[in-house]
Amino acid sequence: MAIQLSEHFTYQKLLRFTFPSIIMLVFTSIYGVVDGFFVSNFVGKIPFTAVNFIMPFLMILGSLGFMFGTGGGALIAITLGQGKHERANRLFSLIVYSSAACGALLTLIGFLTIRPLSQALGASGQLLEDCITYGHIILAAIPAYILQYEFQCLFATAEKPAMGLYVTIAAGLTNIILDALFVAVFRWGLEGAAAATALSQCVGGIIPLIYFARPNKSLLRLGRTRFDASALKKTCINGSSELMSNISMSVVSMLYNVQLLRYAGEDGVAAYGVLMYVSLIFQAVFIGYSVGTAPVIGYNYGAQNSRELKGMLRKTMVLMGTFAVIMFAAANALAAPLSYIFTGYDEGLFRLTSRAFFFFSFSFLFSGFAIFGSSFFTALGNGLISAAISFLRTLVFQAAAILTFPLIWGVDGIWLSTVAAEVLALGVTMFFLKGNREKYHY
């Protein structure tokens, strides 16, 4: 039986409702990892480095989908909680149409800026050309990429998180199968890997578009709408934290790459790429849970059900603590085998990656709390606090650490930067949660 937003959520029901969102984002991360595996093992170290080097820029463009998905999802959930179903559908349609249009514009911008940006970041020679080759193919699918991320959030708002999971699995399998076919069998190299990713993003973005455009059993359906500047402004402001988080993470990733080129050369960039692949999987648990709970929080805030809000926050703190310990233990246990999968062909690169894993794993003890804290305030409609948490966590704290720690500890300082940023972000999150208890009655 489907769980409704208006129900009382026990631990069991909370996990059941958020499970599809968690698996959905984990699966999305896994097929990104598979992409890296095929490039690293079948194409070569320099193309693998190029993928990791240009990916932050591509993720900045796609992150617009999270802004529309989280900011719009919260606004729609609050509207549903107020009993205004017709308005909720108009908002849903407006947000989807607007994000698709923005995606087309970003594709054009991407084509114009990818080469000068890659050169400015330090790419040259074959590394530069591989960045351009991979980036051009991915850019063609940016509108679908944005819709894919957006619908991952909105399926939960529509009370259809399982449907979102099925679409993500379909997109993931498309990428995995086409990677194996294009790269390992046909030997199309970097172009094959990029084409597999682009086609999988089209699957993830277009199938939900068709689903919501037709009669369906969810709370939402695409239809006629009218331009509402105020609603779009609220969506953008409310979702700015997730946009800021993704942009900041991508900017910081570029900064990591610049520092690693300086301190460890191309091997450092490749090792960092492996860390990011694994980190995406682990962080997806925290992000998926936060995405899954956001419509519940927004609905109960709109319905002024403070008792349920208190219960949600209390249960979440317990679950996040449990997830954190599991993630930390898993990261340490899997450090060597995961490093070997990607870098076993190069002994020096393998040792560098394994050592990086040891330091990096401590970040999982703290990161989930700040991720949820940012999502929590987004769901309450307070994009300012949400953005502050994300901005400090993903940009300010990490940038400060990545610029100073290597001066003291060298390459090890680069891996420790993320840990320091997550600890500071946890403190900021607790400060905001404590300071706003009376305002939101949680």
Among 140-144, 171-175, 265-269, 278-282, name the most confident range: 140-144
pLDDT score recorded for residue 280: 79
What mean pLDDT comes out for the span 120-138?
92
| CA 429 – CA 23 distance, rounded (Å) | 25
pLDDT above 90 for 225:
yes
Query: Is residue 364 very low, low, confident or very high in pLDDT (cuts 50, 70, 90)?
Result: very high
What mean pLDDT comes out for the span 207-221?
93
- Which value, in Å, is the radius of gyration of the alpha carbons in the chain? 21
pLDDT above 60 for 334:
yes
DSSP states along 184-195: IIS--HHHHHHH
pLDDT above 90 for 220:
yes
Q: Could you tell me which residues come within 8 angstroms of residue 410 by beta carbon, excluding any fewer than 6 positions away?
A: 263
pLDDT above 90 for 266:
no
pLDDT score recorded for residue 189: 92
pLDDT score recorded for residue 290: 92
402-407 long-range contacts, CB within 8 A, separation 24+: 402/252, 402/255, 402/256, 402/259, 403/255, 403/259, 406/259, 406/263
For 387-431, the pLDDT digits (tens) are 899 889 988 999 999 999 999 999 899 999 999 999 999 999 999
Look at 5 and 323; give whichever has higher pLDDT: 323
pLDDT score recorded for residue 40: 82
Q: How many CA atoms lie within 13 A of 219 on its CB side?
A: 28
| CA 132 – CA 223 distance, rounded (Å) | 38
For 61-104, the pLDDT digits (tens) are 888 887 898 888 888 988 998 889 999 999 999 999 999 999 99
pLDDT score recorded for residue 32: 65
Q: How many CA atoms lie within 13 A of 238 on its CB side?
A: 27
pLDDT above 80 for 240:
no
pLDDT score recorded for residue 1: 55
DSSP states along 52-104: HHHHHHHHHHHTHHHIIIIIHHHHHHHHHHTT-HHHHHHHHHHHHHHHHHHHH
pLDDT above 80 for 248:
no
Query: Is residue 373 very low, low, confident or very high in pLDDT (cuts 50, 70, 90)?
Result: very high
